[in-house]
Each structure stands twice: as C-alpha cells, then as structure tokens.
A and B are shown apart, each in its own frame.
Chain A
Amino acid sequence: MWMKSSLLLPLLAGSLFAQFSGPSLGLVYDAPNQALRRIAGLPGGATLSDPVLTGIAFAAVAPDHSFAIVSSADGSGYQLFTRDGLSALPPGLTPSARVAFSPGGGAAAFYADGSASLTLVTGLPSQPSLQAIAVGGAVGKFAVNDAGSLLVSVPRQPAGESVLQISPQGQPVQVLDVTQAAAIIFSRDGAKAWIADAAENRIWSLSQFDTSAVAAPIASDADGLSTPLALAVSTDARTLWIGNGGTNGVITFDLFQGTALASLTCSCKLTTLSPLTGAGVFRLTDLATDPIWILDASQPAPRILFIPAVAQ
C-alpha cells in the first residue's frame, strides 16, 4: 500500500525570541467613572487596571475583547476602540442604544428603546457598514449571528412575547412564542440559538433557521431554573450556562445529555453572563462600586470569584 510520508523538523526559534506579557481577562466598562478598564490577571488573581480609555458614556465590548464600541461623553457619537486607537463608525446609529454582538464579533445589532427598527452593523471591526432592519414595534431582547441574522423578541397581544427571525434581506418570521424573553443567544456558528423564558422558567433551543425553524424546550424549573435572565454557550455548543435571577446562581447544562450538571450560587446580584477572554470565563455583574463577580468554568472545578473593586 502506498502511503504518503512527510518529514517534519521543528526548529526552535530560540528562547531569545520568546515573548512575555501579562494575562488579561479582557475589557470592562466602568460606568461610574465613564471609563474602559482592562482586567489584568487570571481568575482568582485578577485586578482592575487603570482606565485605558476615559470620557465615554457607553461601551460594548466585543466577545473576544479585541475591540469595543464606545460613545463619548460629549455626545460625538459611536466610535470603534481597538488596539490601534479610536476610529469613527458610519453615521446613523441612534444614541443610547442597546447593543448585541454576534458570537464572533463580526456583526452587532443596535436598538434604541422606542424605535421601530434595529440597526445591523456588519463587517466589524475593519469595514463596518450599517443596515436598518424594520421590526414594526418595540423590541425586547435580541441577538445577532455573524451572518447578520437576527432573533428579536417583540410584544404579543394580548400578552407575552413572540420571537422573530429576521435575515438581513428577508421578512420577519415568527419562530416562537414565549411569556417573557429574558435572554437570546446564538451558537458560535450561528446555526442554533437558545432563548430563556424568565416567566415560565424555561429554556428553548432553536435550530434549522434555513428552512422552518424548529423550537424545542430543553430545560425547566425541574432543572433548577429560577427566573433565568442570562445565557452563555461554549464554543463547541456542548455546554450552556444559565444565569438564574431568582437564585443569583449559574446552572451548567449539558446540551448533549440534556441535563443540568452543576449549580453555583453567587454572593452577588447576577445580571449577565458576558464572556471574558479564555474559554468558560464569564462576567456575572457589571462594574460599579462593588467588586465584579465572575464564573470561572475553564477549569475542571468551576468557581465563582470576585475581582476586587477599584479602591476608593
């Protein structure tokens, strides 16, 4: 049998060329000080850096923390903040918007409360372009994937909410009805999505967006759900983390097995599950005057840890 064989010779580039730096968990917006800070160090040994950017009234950090969308406190509009500095985003973004990034950070959706449309920004961060997406009414939660497809929750009469799927060129398609959509996320490849219904204590999975979306409930209060308000999913779409507002805890849910694996409780008021750098590390609270609380699920034994507050 003929078999291909190649001979490899690794050559050490030399320890002289080894590079050192300090670990970082990414960026975080410091609202009280209108600043962007870096989280220096590893979980359990992290600190908040001095501000890397000040005078900003808003910041949304990309999932991989390689850039952030900020708005200056002087009202001069949205800008991109990268390691190369600040650059302007195309005009047309409504001030005071809520922002959702796609899992890969290539797209983002902006929605200003009271508006009847979202603004989809694609080509991030190098070639941003804007597109208005009409929704026709108030928007609750929303998420976007890297292809620019949106999932949007809107009020349903007489009660509850509907989740719409909107592709950049298409019409909104109703894919799911829930009582209170508290969180919507896409998988890394954008092919799946999960929705938390805080009122019903239920997690829905959505798939097959290219045909007729299929919705299926995957977790309920029997799995420990208590007012779920935040979701995060692993890159391989195997593990779902569910932030419980009712218990201020995080449930680790195995999507392959369909079972809850573990639950941790935070001595904090859990508000988010925002990814930090490093697989399985999430921010549970925003930065204010108290410490930031994080979930470190990157190691075999997950922990909930704090990052010390900025000393006053």
Chain B
Amino acid sequence: MKRPPLASFALILAAACCFHASAQTITSFSPSSVAAGSPTFDLTINGQFGGSDFPPTVTWSNLGSATLNVVSFSAVQIVVTVPANLIANPGTAAITVNQPFFNAPVTANFVVAPPQITSLSPTSVTAGSPAFQLLVNGLNFVSGTCATPPCPPLSTVNWNGTALATAQVSATQLSATVPANLILSPGTELITIFGPGTVSSNAVNFVVTYPVPTITSISPSSANSGGPAFTLTVAGTGFFSASVVQWNGASLPTSLVGNFLTAAVPAALISQPGTASVTVLNPGQPSSNFALFTIVAPPILPVISAISPSTTVEGSPAFTLTVNGSGFAALTSVLWNGQPLATAFVSSAQLTAAVPASLVAKAATAVVQAGNPNQAPSNGISFIITPTPIAITSLSPSTAQAGGASFTMTVTGSGFLPGVGALWNGSPLSSTYVSATQLTATVPAALIANTGTATIRAANPNGPQSNGLPFTIVLSTLTLTSLSPNTIAAGGPALSLGITGTGFQSGAQVLWNGSPLATTYGSGTQLTAVVPANLTAAAGNASVSVANPDAVSNSLTFTITAPVFSLTTISPNSAAAGDPAVTITATGTGFTSGSVVQFNGSALPTTFVSATQLTATIPANLLATAGTATVTVVNPNAPPSNALTFTIRPRSVPLTITSLSPNSATAGSATLTLTVNGTGFANDAAVLWNSTSLVTTFVSASQLTVAVPANLLAQPGSASVSVASGGATSNTTNFTVALPPAPSITLTGPATIGPAQQPPITFTLGSAYPLPLTGTVTLTFTPDALVPGDDPAIQFASGGRSLSFNVAANSLTLPALLVQTGTVAGTVTLTLKLTAVGVDVTPPGGTLALQIPRQAPVIRSAQLIRSASGLEIDITGYATSRDVTQATFHFTTAADSNLQLADFTVPLSSTFAAWYASAAAAPYGSQFTYAQPFSIQGNSSAITSVTVTLTNSIGASPPATSN
C-alpha cells in the first residue's frame, strides 16, 4: 500500500475536519490466522480507522506482547509486521489498534493455529511391504523450499514420534517416506506433525495390516490313519506370531518358530483315512492357499505261520509250496531267501508258490517269507533241503582176472546225482554219470594187477558215500594159442578167422586191435570171428586177443601182406567223340581204397568198390576229339599198373542250332522256357547264354529246352545263344530282349491358379511298369509381367525346380508333387521325363502348364507407424503384373478433430517400376513392402486410421485399413 499523494492528503484532511469522528472497528485480518511456527510475516488489518495522517499504534498481547511495526496504513487498512517469535506457539493473540485522532482503541483476536491432520493416504499398508510414500493432508503445515542451508524450520511427519524424511508439498499436504523396516510387523502406528519448534498436531492412526499368508510346503504331508498326535511344520511366507494353522478350517494350536509355523495335530484328526486341507489364517485376512495332507490307511504286514512242505531232498523236481499265515494280499509274494517266487494268492491266510528245481538242487537251508511291494517282509520259516541218499546194488563186472587190461565197470544203485563218482577202496575212479541209478567207471589195469578184493562205493558231490560192494580179482586162465589164418594179402574180401586157445567162455569176443569182432563161440578152446575187408585193406599187423566177460587173454599177431597189383579189363573201352562223360569199370587185383584210375596219365574221379574193382568217370572234355587213350591204375606209394587202351571214335552228326523259340522277350519278363532246335545234341548238351551255361533239359538229339531266369531278361538288349556238348560248341543265334511299351501317366492340375498358392497336382501312373523307372520333373517359368522377371519362389517343396525320383519295378508309387506358384504372372510348366535302364520312356501327357494371371494388387497387411514428425504406412503385398500405378490414402480422425485434407493419391508407376527392376526385388517376385511416410501438421495422434488402396493396370486392390 502506498501513501496518498499530497493533493489527496489535503482533501482527506479537509474531510477530517468536517466530519465527526466515528468509532474504530477491525473487520478482518489477512491472513485470518497463521500456522504456529511460521516465519515473520506481514498482517493486514482491515476495518475503519481514524485516518491516514497519523500513524496508528498496533500492539500484540495475550500470546506474548509487543508493539508491532506499522508498514503502511490508511483509514480502512493497516499493515503490520508480526515477528516469528510471537507465533512460535499456537494460541490466540489480541491485536489492538490505537489511532491518536480517536479516543477509543479497538482490539480483535488473531489465531496462531497448530498443525492439524485431516487424512492420510494410504491409510494402511501390508506388513512386509517395501518403503512407500505417505501423503498427510491437513491444515496449518509450515512448508517451503530451501536451496541453501541453513533452512527455516518446517513441519515434519512423525511415525510414533520419530521424524520421517518429509517433503513439504503445500500448507495442506506433506509427503513422507516410510522405510520398509518400520512396517515389518502388523500394528497401529501414530502419525503426527511436529514443528517447527515445539508445535505438534493431532495424532492419526495408520494401520499396518497382516498379509495374506502363503503356504509353500508342509511337513509331514501325510500320515497313517490311527497314528499318534504329531507336530505339523508349515513353510511359507507372511507368517507372524498371530498366524494360525487351520485343519479343514479349524484352528490348531500354532507357534511361530523362526520362519515356520508349527501346529499340534491331535490324533483324533487322523483317525480315518482321507485328506485334509491345511491353511494359514492371519488376523483380518483371507486364508492362504491350501496344502493337501493325506491320511492313508496303514499297511497290513503279512505274517506266516507254516509252510508245506517244509523239507525236500536235494535234486528234487520243482514243486508247489503252500504258505499259511495272515495279512496276505493279491500282491503278496512268497520270498525264497529274499527273492520272490511265482506266487498265487489263495486267501488272506494262504499263498502258494512255485519252487523251481534249481532252488533245491543242493542241500541247504532256505528262509521262506512273505512280502508286499515296498514293505518289510514277514517273519521267516526255514525250509530244509536234505542231501540225497545214495546206495549201490550191483557191479558189472564184479570180478576181473589179475593182470587183465583196463576195463569199464558199470555201477547200479540209486540216488546218483550228476558228478557222482565210484570209489575203489575209497579212491575215486574216473566216472561218468549215466542216470540216477547208473554210473560207469574206468578201472585201470594197475588196480587189477594182482588177485584180491576191493570195496566199491559211490559218492555224490559233497555228499555221503554209499554202501560198499566187493570186487574180486581172480587168477587168469584165459589163453590164446593160434590164429587161422594168421596172414592174408591186403585188399582181400572179408575173412573168417579161426581162434584156438583155452578158457573161452560163452560170450567171449575176439578183439582186433582191441575192438571186438563178430564172434561165434565154438567151444572153450575154439572161436570163429569175421574180419571185415576194410580191416585188411592195407598191409600191416593187427593184434588179436580174446575177451571173456570177466577177463582178456594174451594177444597174437595177424599179418597183412602187400597185394598183387594188376589191371585186367576196362568197360566200356570206347566212346564217340563229343559224347558226354562216361563211367568205366576197371577190374583187376590189388586195388585199395587209395587206388586211382588215370586217363592218359590224368587222374579220374575214382570210386573203390573192392580190391578187384574200381569205377571212374571220364569227363566229356576228354572225349571231345577222336583218338585213343591209355588207362592205368595207381596205388599209393607204388608204381602204376599195366595200361589198357580206351578208344574215342569220330563224331557222326555236327553240333548246330537251327532256331530258337521264342527268339525274343520283353525286358522284365519272368523266367521263360526257351526251346533250342538243332542237330548233334547229346544228353550232356548245355545251352550257353552269352557264354554262360544254363540249366538244360535234353529232349532229343535235335531239341533242347532251357529255363532262362528273369534276371537275364531284366535289361533290354541282345543275347547270344549257343550249345556246348562233348567238348564242342555250336554256332550262335541271337535272342532279343526288348523294352516294354511306355507306361501311361496322369499329370493334371488347375489350368489357372492364383499367386502365392500351392495347388494340388495329380500325378499317377496308369499301370505298373515291369522295370525300375527313374524320373525327373522340371519346373520352368515364362513370365507375363509388365516388368518381366523370374520368381525364385516357384519351387518344389523339396527345394529347387527339379525333382528326381525312382519308381520300383511293378510299383505304382509316385512322389507327391508339391509346387509353389510364386507371385508373378506367367506360366509355370512342369515337364516330366521317365527313363528305364537309361532309355527315355516318357509317355505322352508328361507336361502340365499352370497359368498365373495378371491381377490387381493384393495387400496382405497395412501397418500404421506413428512417429514424432508424422506417420508412416507400411504396405505389404504383391502385384502379379509387377506394376503399381498409384496408391490412395484416406485418413480418418477422432470425432473431435478435423482433417484439412483427408484423401491423398500418390502416383507410383515409376517408383514401383524402379523397385521391380532393382536387384533387391529379384528374390521376391512381385512381393513388396512399400513404406509411405506422411508429415502431419497438428496432433497426429488424432488420426485414428488410414485406409489404403493400390491400383495397377489391371485394377484396384481391396482397401486395407490400419489403426
């Protein structure tokens, strides 16, 4: 406020002298009150005062006292300065104005107000939350900013009396940072405003609430029904001492232990099988998620009381074991030394099990139990496997002559097991197990060198010995004195040998080098034996002795002398040139099994018939040419025999092929029968197919038949056929193998197809082809675009433009033709080529043309991209003609905005022509992504959508809109 100018002063003075003074009044203060603790401020006092010529006196009382400095004054307004010390504390001050021109001072009350909280935001927070900003709303906050300390004192938010970092937003709002450590636990906190100085506001409650707890696991998570009470441990988050664990919604006595809750679960809650829901409840909050607690029925453990049988003898066969007891179930197994047996459930009190023979092969004790899967087995009962009793009843022989040779003794008895052995006076003999009732043992000669008696027993492996039987060694009386004859020439027929001696018994056998001969008993001094021819085939000596049932005699020598060796005849002794192989019979003496017939000094395949007869085969090739040959016989390690002559007569009819029937076939044919007509065929004749012999049937001297296998007819071409017989070969005649006619084929598809398509193509064989086929389908493309160009997208699914394949013989299976048409107008041509064995057999109709027409542009997508300077519309699509002449854009705005220009047409002929002619466009056929930018004057966000249409020489695309 300014003092009035002098002219006005004079006018006011005149007025003052002309009017009666009226009473002073204070009508208001500005500000009407002040916050306690505020700094020094100017107070405007409005009212009716004496005038403006004489300064008033303004005093402050009741809340301290002072005369206030008058800054300005007028008849209706006085401005005074109130120092900070007067308003440090809240209260009501009396302000008195005294104007000298007036007699009566005027007084009014002025309020110094304390801070007051009216609301908090937020009013609560969940315990454990991170630090947050608390907004305190109210009145009379002392606020301000201070860039440079020392700063004036300001109002501070207190948390239970502790100052928080406070930002003074305004006189009615403060913002304080509440650190996370102050809200770790639930509770009610007091919020006050403190300062400046000692002033303090009212207190307002702030609530730290419990969080909703979360269970992550419980331990244990299951128990057996009927079990005892237990302590349940719950892990999770949001647990406090007030948290309560609930069991199916009912609270359990709960303790907080560390970060876990423990709850006492009484036995009554798990008396029955089932499930229970475990949750945690915090005061004032919904329940946590639940964890499932499972109460399972306790397992019934099996008990066995008896087994039947409870014993068996080792080596017994498999048997069925019956186990009686209790607690058996369908899955209960009988255990044999802990290992499960194949078990049949009979009842809860009985099981049966198959005990294999292998488990009772040896004497032992086994433990039988019953067990359920994943449970401890039952009690055990012993099963006894006793050793096998062993006994012997007879020996054969039971006597031997002293000084006799080693012999085999047969022991008969019972209880023999594999590995059983005979004992000779307690010492084991080399023995062989024959059966449970018989064994054989070798008694060496040394054990019967002298007369006497031995005790024979049998013993199983690791088992007891049997009873003993005596074996008697008696004085020998058996003697061999002469042989008749005692010599013979080698190679003779079977021989009857007379034996003379003493002590021969009925059943005596003549032994030839220890091997028995067929023997005829004549008397105690005479035997006759047959010596087979093979035993006298070669010169040498043989030892002859006689074996009675209980003894073996001395031996005598039989001498086989070298034979007289000669060839007397051969039959036949001639053949015709060209004849097949001939078998001849050679007769003479002194032949042995090693004798070989020779033909002009060459050995022939020879068969020994007897010492006087051999047979041998003269192969056809040795009979090819007329003439004579010498035939001899050669014995091992001896000079050849005398020689005889074999005559080969001249051939009578020439070997010739005159015709073949048939003389051709189709490649891939099955085996066929070929008839060969001609002359001079013999029964050894063989048809040659490209010089390889085939299996030939001789029909007559003028006809042969032969089976030509399919593999020789697989390939087209020509084969030379001839006949070989008797070492000669006929003329050759050609047989032709021709290709079968080309197979029919279907290759069809749509004549016209749109761009970016993968059309169905029908590709089938009309009939199976007897030969393997090799095929190739080739794609070619003839563009019809205004800007011509290839389209690399025209490919088979397998990649590229060539598809090779193979078709097995007699198969109809062809590959699927999956073709991509691309996006460029033109003609896609599929061309098939089929070959068989390298020969082109492509049938008619092996070409298919697909026409891709020129079309109006196609927009696949339009995308509106906003930027600070405007918009960009990205348009992706294709135009098969490879031309686009223009684009039209229509802009749409929000309802509260207007467009100065809503439609644009952009000429694009040259732009697109340049794109399609560029190398960058080459991989894409007619595809493009065309980005058109626009700058916007105004708020571009008001443009809500853009609709674009592309046009080319064919027409316009459907519009595409982007938001």
Tell yes or no: B860 within 8 A of A by CB.
Answer: yes
Q: Is there an interface contact between A17 and B933, defined as CB atoms closer than 8 Å?
A: yes
Count A-B contacts at CB 8 Å: 183
Tell yes or no: B818 within 8 A of A by CB.
Answer: yes
Choose one: B798, B893, B915; the contact of A309 (CB below 8 Å).
Answer: B798
Q: Is there an interface contact between B797 and A309, defined as CB atoms closer than 8 Å?
A: yes
Tell yes or no: A291 within 8 A of B by CB.
Answer: yes
Residue of B nearest to A212 (CB): B289
The proximity string for A residues 5-47 relative to B, scoring 1 for CB distances below 8 Å and 0 otherwise, is 1111111110101111111000000000000000011111111
User: Closest CB of chain B to A238's CB: distance in Å?
Assistant: 16
Q: Complex formed: what's the CA distance from A303 to B908 in Å?
A: 32
The verdict on A10 contacting B860 (CB below 8 Å), with A42-B876, A43-B756 known, is: no
Of A4, A9, A290, most B-chain CB atoms within 10 Å: A9
Q: Is there an interface contact between B927 and A45, defined as CB atoms closer than 8 Å?
A: yes
User: Closest CB of chain B to A284's CB: distance in Å?
Assistant: 14
Tell yes or no: B837 within 8 A of A by CB.
Answer: no
Residue of B nearest to A175 (CB): B289
Tell yes or no: B758 within 8 A of A by CB.
Answer: yes
Choose one: A21, A173, A298; the contact of B920 (CB below 8 Å).
Answer: A21
Tell yes or no: A207 within 8 A of B by CB.
Answer: no
The verdict on A8 contacting B820 (CB below 8 Å), with A42-B756, A309-B798 known, is: no
Q: Is there an interface contact between B934 and A308, defined as CB atoms closer than 8 Å?
A: no
Interfacial chain A residues near B899, Cβ < 8 Å: 7-10
Choose one: B796, B897, B900, B911; the contact of A5 (CB below 8 Å).
Answer: B897
Tell yes or no: A124 within 8 A of B by CB.
Answer: no
Q: Complex formed: what's the CA distance from A154 to B924 in Å?
A: 46
Tell yes or no: A306 within 8 A of B by CB.
Answer: yes
Tell yes or no: B644 within 8 A of A by CB.
Answer: no
The verdict on A10 contacting B934 (CB below 8 Å), with A22-B924, A23-B928, A40-B924 known, is: yes
Tell yes or no: B671 within 8 A of A by CB.
Answer: no
The verdict on A22 contacting B920 (CB below 8 Å), with A9-B900, A12-B904, A45-B927 known, is: yes
The verdict on A291 contacting B216 (CB below 8 Å), with A22-B928, A44-B756 known, is: no
The verdict on A13 contacting B928 (CB below 8 Å), with A6-B896, A8-B942 known, is: no
The verdict on A15 contacting B927 (CB below 8 Å), with A3-B896, A171-B237, A212-B289 known, is: no
Q: Complex formed: what's the CA distance from A217 to B904 in Å?
A: 51
Q: Is there an interface contact between A45 and B822, defined as CB atoms closer than 8 Å?
A: yes
Interfacial chain A residues near B940, Cβ < 8 Å: 8
Q: Complex formed: what's the CA distance from A7 to B925 in Å?
A: 42
Residue of A nearest to B900 (CB): A9
Residue of B nearest to A291 (CB): B797
Q: Complex formed: what's the CA distance from A9 to B897 in Å?
A: 11
Tell yes or no: B932 within 8 A of A by CB.
Answer: yes
Choose one: A12, A170, A278; the contact of B906 (CB below 8 Å).
Answer: A12
The verdict on A312 contacting B799 (CB below 8 Å), with A42-B927, A43-B756 known, is: yes
Interfacial chain A residues near B212, Cβ < 8 Å: 211
Of B755, B821, B929, most A-chain CB atoms within 10 Å: B929
Tell yes or no: A310 within 8 A of B by CB.
Answer: yes
Q: Is there an interface contact between B891 and A10, defined as CB atoms closer than 8 Å?
A: yes
Q: Is there an interface contact between B799 and A5, defined as CB atoms closer than 8 Å?
A: no
Q: Give B140-195 interface residues, CB cut-off 8 Å to A.
A: none
Q: Is there an interface contact between B911 and A18, defined as CB atoms closer than 8 Å?
A: yes
Q: Complex formed: what's the CA distance from A4 to B289 in Å?
A: 51
The verdict on A13 contacting B898 (CB below 8 Å), with A171-B216, A308-B799 known, is: no
Tell yes or no: B921 within 8 A of A by CB.
Answer: yes
The proximity string for B residues 891-924 relative to A, scoring 1 for CB distances below 8 Å and 0 otherwise, is 1010011111100101110010001001011011
Q: Give B393-414 interface residues, CB cut-off 8 Å to A.
A: none
Q: Complex formed: what's the CA distance from A279 to B367 in Å?
A: 72
Q: Complex formed: what's the CA distance from A160 to B795 in Å?
A: 46
Q: Is there an interface contact between A18 and B289, defined as CB atoms closer than 8 Å?
A: no
Q: Complex formed: what's the CA distance from A45 to B880 in Å?
A: 12
Q: Complex formed: what's the CA distance from A205 to B145 in Å?
A: 53
We find that the number of chain B residues with CB closer than 8 angstroms to chain A is 67
Q: Is there an interface contact between A306 and B878, defined as CB atoms closer than 8 Å?
A: no
The verdict on A9 contacting B756 (CB below 8 Å), with A23-B928, A212-B289, A309-B797 known, is: no
Tell yes or no: B861 within 8 A of A by CB.
Answer: yes
The verdict on A45 contacting B933 (CB below 8 Å), with A15-B911, A22-B920 known, is: no
Q: Is there an interface contact between A8 and B860, defined as CB atoms closer than 8 Å?
A: no
Q: Give B367-411 interface residues, CB cut-off 8 Å to A.
A: none
Q: Is there an interface contact between A18 and B931, defined as CB atoms closer than 8 Å?
A: yes
Q: Give A211-242 interface residues, CB cut-off 8 Å to B.
A: 211-212
Q: Complex formed: what's the CA distance from A94 to B106 in Å?
A: 89
Residue of A nearest to B871 (CB): A10
User: Closest CB of chain B to A181's CB: distance in Å?
Assistant: 19
The verdict on A6 contacting B942 (CB below 8 Å), with A22-B927, A42-B927, A306-B797 known, is: yes
Tell yes or no: A104 within 8 A of B by CB.
Answer: no
Tell yes or no: A49 within 8 A of B by CB.
Answer: yes
Q: Complex formed: what's the CA distance from A10 to B908 in Å?
A: 19
Of A17, A42, A309, most B-chain CB atoms within 10 Å: A42
What DSSP secondary structure best describes chain A's contact surface?
Answer: loop
Q: Is there an interface contact between A8 and B931, defined as CB atoms closer than 8 Å?
A: no
Interfacial chain A residues near B920, Cβ < 8 Å: 20-22
Q: Is there an interface contact between A20 and B915, defined as CB atoms closer than 8 Å?
A: yes
The verdict on A44 contacting B758 (CB below 8 Å), with A18-B911, A22-B921, A22-B928 known, is: yes
The proximity string for B residues 196-232 relative to A, scoring 1 for CB distances below 8 Å and 0 otherwise, is 0000000000000000101010000000000000000
Q: Is there an interface contact between B938 and A9, defined as CB atoms closer than 8 Å?
A: yes
Tell yes or no: B727 within 8 A of A by CB.
Answer: no
User: Closest CB of chain B to A167's CB: distance in Å?
Assistant: 11
Q: Is there an interface contact between B923 and A9, defined as CB atoms closer than 8 Å?
A: no
Q: Is there an interface contact between B860 and A298, defined as CB atoms closer than 8 Å?
A: yes
User: Closest CB of chain B to A67's CB: distance in Å?
Assistant: 19
The proximity string for B residues 786-819 relative to A, scoring 1 for CB distances below 8 Å and 0 otherwise, is 0000011101111110000000000000001010
Q: Complex formed: what's the CA distance from A298 to B876 in Å?
A: 13
Q: Complex formed: what's the CA distance from A99 to B694 in Å?
A: 68
Q: Is there an interface contact between A44 and B800, defined as CB atoms closer than 8 Å?
A: no
User: Closest CB of chain A to B955's CB: distance in Å?
Assistant: 20
Q: Is there an interface contact between A7 and B900, defined as CB atoms closer than 8 Å?
A: yes
Tell yes or no: B943 within 8 A of A by CB.
Answer: yes
Q: Is there an interface contact between B820 and A7, defined as CB atoms closer than 8 Å?
A: no
Residue of B nearest to A40 (CB): B923
Interfacial chain A residues near B936, Cβ < 8 Å: 8-11
Choose one: A13, A211, A212; the contact of B933 (CB below 8 Å).
Answer: A13
Tell yes or no: B823 within 8 A of A by CB.
Answer: yes
Interfacial chain A residues near B320, Cβ < 8 Å: none
Residue of A nearest to B946 (CB): A10
User: Closest CB of chain B to A2's CB: distance in Å?
Assistant: 11
Q: Complex formed: what's the CA distance from A291 to B818 in Å?
A: 10
Interfacial chain B residues near A17, Cβ < 8 Å: 933
Interfacial chain B residues near A308, Cβ < 8 Å: 793, 795-800, 820
User: Closest CB of chain B to A3's CB: distance in Å?
Assistant: 6
User: Closest CB of chain B to A208's CB: distance in Å?
Assistant: 12
Q: Is there an interface contact between A18 and B930, defined as CB atoms closer than 8 Å?
A: yes
Residue of A nearest to B920 (CB): A22
The proximity string for B residues 869-886 relative to A, scoring 1 for CB distances below 8 Å and 0 otherwise, is 011000010100000000
| A-B CB proximity, top 6 nearest | A44-B756, A311-B800, A311-B799, A308-B795, A8-B938, A309-B799
A–B Cβ pairs within 8 angstroms, 24 of them: A4-B896, A6-B942, A8-B899, A8-B939, A11-B936, A15-B907, A15-B908, A18-B932, A20-B911, A21-B920, A23-B927, A41-B793, A41-B823, A44-B820, A45-B793, A45-B820, A45-B823, A45-B878, A47-B793, A47-B795, A47-B923, A173-B214, A298-B861, A309-B797
B-side residues, CB < 8 A to A, are 212, 214, 216, 236-237, 289, 755-758, 791-793, 795-800, 816, 818, 820-823, 860-861, 870-871, 876, 878, 891, 893, 896-901, 904, 906-908, 911, 915, 918, 920-921, 923-925, 927-940, 942-943
Q: Besides the contacts A22-B920, A291-B797, what 17 more A-B pairs have beta carbons closer than 8 Å?
A: A3-B896, A6-B897, A6-B938, A8-B937, A9-B938, A10-B904, A10-B934, A11-B870, A12-B906, A15-B911, A18-B931, A22-B928, A23-B927, A40-B923, A42-B860, A44-B820, A211-B212
